[in-house]
C-alpha cells in the first residue's frame, strides 16, 4: 500500500540510538484524519454535481425600507416629546427613601413574620430592619418621603410616585434587561432605542439618544444600558464622557477646517450612496452614512450643547454646580436639560458600577448617594417647568430593583445592609402627561411585595409609550419573520391611573 507523510503520530524509533525515520501513515489514515477538510470539500463537490446541495439561505431584504432619524408621526397625538432617565443601577432601597413602613420599624430586630426569597443566602438574615431615617409629608399632596430627600420634597407636587413596581427577577442583569429593554434577557433594544426608532429626532445636529456617564465609569453591564440590540445601529445611544472633551474627535485638523472638510464630506457622501445602492438593505451601512453626516454638524452643535459655562449663575447654583458634593451630578442634569431643549429625544444619566446596591453599610452609603443626587434631580424638574418643557418631557428616577425588609450582613449596625427585591419597589416619574402629586400602588406593611395596583415592568413601558403617542402593540420591528416589540406580547397594558 502506498504511503504518504503526515504529522499525526510521534516519530518511529527502531533502535535506541538510530536516527528517527520520517513519519508515515496509510492513505486511508490520511483521508480519515483530514476528513473535515479535503473530504468535506469533495463531498460538497459531489453533492453539487448531483443537484443535492441545498441552496444558500439568502436573507429577505425589503429594499424599500430605509432607516433614518427624520421626525416620524406617532400613532396618535401624544403628550411627551422627550425623556430624561435618571437611572440608579444597583437598586435603591424603597423603605428608606419612598415607602414608609411603621410596621417594619415596630418589628425591628424581630423575626420577619413571613417568607423571604433571598438572593444572597450566605449573608441572609430573617431579622426585620426598620429604616434608620424618619419620614414626613411634603407638598399640597402630602406625599411622604425620607429625610434623606429634602429637595425632592419641595417638588413632590410635580411627581407620580409608583410604590408597586415589579419585575420578578431578583438579579441585577435580569432586572436591568427587564426595566430597560422589556424582558429579562440580554441582547434586546433599550427603551431609548425604541423611542428614537418610533419617533426619530427633532434635531439633525445632535444624536437623538445620548448617554451621560459617571466619572467613576459606566454602570455594571455597561453598554447594555444603551444598546440598540437588533434594531439598526442608527438607534444606539451615543456615549458622552464625564469630563472634557465630552465627545472625542469633534475638531478637524486645522488644515481641513471649513471648505476642505466640506468637499471631502461631499465626495464621501457620493461614494457611500453609490455603495449603498449596490448593497440595498445594509442597515449598518445606512447608519454609518448617517453618522458621517451627523458628525460634521456636531462639531459646532455638540460642543455648544455640552458646555454649561454660559448658563446663568443662579441656574448653576440651583442644580448645585457650586458644591463639590453635587457638582458632577448637577452638571450632568443641567446638560440633560440643555440636550432635550435642543431636540434630543432621550437622555440617560448613569451612575457608576452598582453604587445603589447596599448589601452592607447602608447607614453610611445611602446618605452619601442621596446627598449627591437629591438637589440636582429636584432642580431638573424646577428648571424644566420654568422653561415650559416639563409638560412635554418625561423625567424618570429609579433602578432595576429595590431592597428586602430584612437585614443582611448581621455583623453590627454599621455593616447592616439589604438584599435584592423585585417584588415591590419604587420609582418616580414627572412631566410628559404623568399625574402630579400622586402616589400609585402599595406594598405590604413590611414593604416586601406589591399588593395594590401592581405595575409590572412591561405595563410601565406600555404606559410610557402611550404618552409619546405610540401604541406598544404597533411599535414593532420585523425580526426573523416576526414582529418584535418592547413589550413583546407579555399581556402589557396601559395604566390609566398614572396618566393625568
Q: Which CATH number fits the domain 82-247+311-473, given the four candidates 1.10.3470, 3.40.720, 3.90.320, 1.10.10? A: 3.40.720
CB 498 within 8 A of CB 440: yes
Q: What whole-number distance in Å separates Cα of residue 218 and Cα of residue 162?
A: 26
Res 114 pLDDT > 80: yes
For the chain, what are the domain ranges? 3-49, 82-247+311-473, 249-305
Q: What whole-number distance in Å separates Cα of residue 363 and Cα of residue 367?
A: 7
Q: Which residues contact 114 (CB under 8 A, 6 or more apart)?
A: 446, 448
Res 193 pLDDT > 80: yes
Q: What whole-number distance in Å separates Cα of residue 374 and Cα of residue 338?
A: 19
Q: What pLDDT is attached to residue 280?
A: 67
CB 405 within 8 A of CB 104: yes
Res 216 pLDDT > 70: yes
Note the pLDDT tens digit of each residue in 298-356: 777 888 999 999 999 999 999 999 999 999 999 999 999 999 999 999 999 999 999 99
For the CA atoms of the chain, what is the radius of gyration?
29
Q: Which residues contact 214 (CB under 8 A, 6 or more apart)?
A: 242, 328, 350, 351, 352
Give the confidence band of 479 by pLDDT, cuts at 50, 70, 90: confident
Half-sphere exposure of 203 (CA within 13 A, CB side): 24
Closest by CA position to 440, among listed 201, 72, 430: 430
Task: Specify the range with the lowest mean pLDDT, choosing from 5-9, 71-75, 207-211, 285-289.
Answer: 5-9
Q: What whole-number distance in Å separates Cα of residue 372 and Cα of residue 97?
A: 14
Give the confidence band of 23 by pLDDT, cuts at 50, 70, 90: low
Q: Cis peptide leading into 245, omega within 30 of 0? A: yes
295-314 burial, b if ≥16 CB within 10 A, otherwise e? Answer: beebbebbeebbebeebeee
Closest by CA position to 149, among listed 200, 100, 212, 222: 100
The model's pTM is 0.82
Q: What pLDDT is attached to residue 54?
A: 54
Q: What is the arithmetic mean of pLDDT over 460-487?
A: 95
Amino acid at each position: 500500500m502506498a504511503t504518504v507523510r503526515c504529522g499525526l503520530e510521534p516519530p518511529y524509533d527502531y533502535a535506541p540510538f538510530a536516527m528517527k525515520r520520517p513519519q508515515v501513515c496509510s492513505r486511508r489514515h490520511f483521508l480519515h484524519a483530514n476528513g473535515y477538510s479535503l473530504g468535506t470539500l469533495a463531498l460538497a463537490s459531489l453533492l453539487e454535481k448531483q443537484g443535492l446541495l441545498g441552496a444558500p439561505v439568502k436573507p429577505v431584504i425589503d429594499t424599500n425600507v430605509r432607516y433614518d432619524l427624520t421626525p416620524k408621526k406617532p400613532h396618535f397625538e401624544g403628550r411627551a416629546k422627550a425623556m430624561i432617565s435618571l437611572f440608579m443601577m444597583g437598586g435603591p432601597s424603597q423603605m428608606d427613601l419612598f415607602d414608609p413602613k411603621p410596621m417594619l420599624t415596630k418589628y425591628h430586630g424581630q423575626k420577619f413574620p413571613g417568607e423571604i426569597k433571598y438572593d444572597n443566602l450566605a449573608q441572609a438574615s430573617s431579622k426585620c430592619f426598620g429604616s434608620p431615617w424618619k419620614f414626613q409629608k411634603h407638598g399640597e399632596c402630602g406625599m411622604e418621603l425620607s429625610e434623606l430627600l429634602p429637595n425632592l420634597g419641595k417638588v413632590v407636587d410635580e411627581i407620580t410616585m409608583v410604590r408597586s413596581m415589579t419585575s420578578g427577577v431578583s438579579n441585577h442583569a435580569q432586572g436591568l434587561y427587564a426595566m430597560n429593554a422589556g424582558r429579562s434577557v440580554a441582547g434586546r433594544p433599550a427603551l431609548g432605542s425604541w423611542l428614537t426608532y418610533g419617533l426619530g429626532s427633532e434635531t439633525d445636529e445632535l444624536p437623538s439618544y445620548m448617554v451621560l456617564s459617571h466619572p467613576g465609569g459606566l454602570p455594571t453591564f455597561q453598554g447594555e444600558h444603551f444598546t440598540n440590540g437588533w434594531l439598526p445601529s442608527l438607534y444606539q445611544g451615543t456615549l458622552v464622557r464625564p469630563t472634557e472633551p465630552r465627545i472625542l474627535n469633534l475638531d478637524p485638523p486645522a488644515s481641513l477646517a471649513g471648505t476642505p472638510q466640506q468637499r471631502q464630506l461631499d465626495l464621501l457622501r457620493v461614494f457611500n450612496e453609490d455603495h449603498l445602492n449596490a448593497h440595498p438593505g445594509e442597515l449598518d451601512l445606512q447608519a454609518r452614512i448617517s453618522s458621517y453626516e451627523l458628525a460634521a454638524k456636531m462639531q459646532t452643535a455638540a460642543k455648544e450643547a455640552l458646555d454649561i459655562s454660559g448658563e446663568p449663575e443662579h441656574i448653576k447654583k440651583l442644580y448645585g454646580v457650586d458644591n463639590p458634593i453635587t457638582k458632577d451630578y448637577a452638571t450632568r442634569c443641567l446638560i440633560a436639560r440643555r440636550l432635550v431643549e435642543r431636540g434630543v429625544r432621550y437622555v440617560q444619566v448613569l451612575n457608576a458600577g452598582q453604587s445603589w446596591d447596599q448589601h452592607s453599610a447602608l447607614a453610611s452609603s445611602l446618605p452619601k448617594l442621596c446627598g449627591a443626587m437629591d438637589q440636582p434631580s429636584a432642580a431638573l424638574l424646577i428648571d424644566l417647568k420654568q422653561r415650559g418643557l416639563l409638560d412635554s418631557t418625561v423625567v424618570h428616577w429609579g433602578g432595576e430593583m429595590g431592597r428586602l425588609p430584612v437585614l443582611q450582613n448581621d455583623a453590627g449596625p454599621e455593616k447592616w445592609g439589604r438584599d435584592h427585591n423585585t417584588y415591590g419597589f419604587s420609582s418616580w416619574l414627572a412631566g410628559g402627561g404623568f399625574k402630579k402629586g400622586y402616589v400609585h400602588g402599595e406594598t405590604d406593611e413590611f414593604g416586601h411585595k406589591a399588593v395594590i395596583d401592581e405595575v409590572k415592568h412591561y405595563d410601565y413601558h406600555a404606559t410610557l409609550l402611550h404618552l409619546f403617542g405610540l401604541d406598544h402593540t404597533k411599535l414593532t420591528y420585523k425580526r426573523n419573520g416576526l414582529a418584535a416589540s418592547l413589550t413583546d406580547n407579555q399581556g402589557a397594558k396601559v395604566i390609566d391611573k398614572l396618566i393625568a
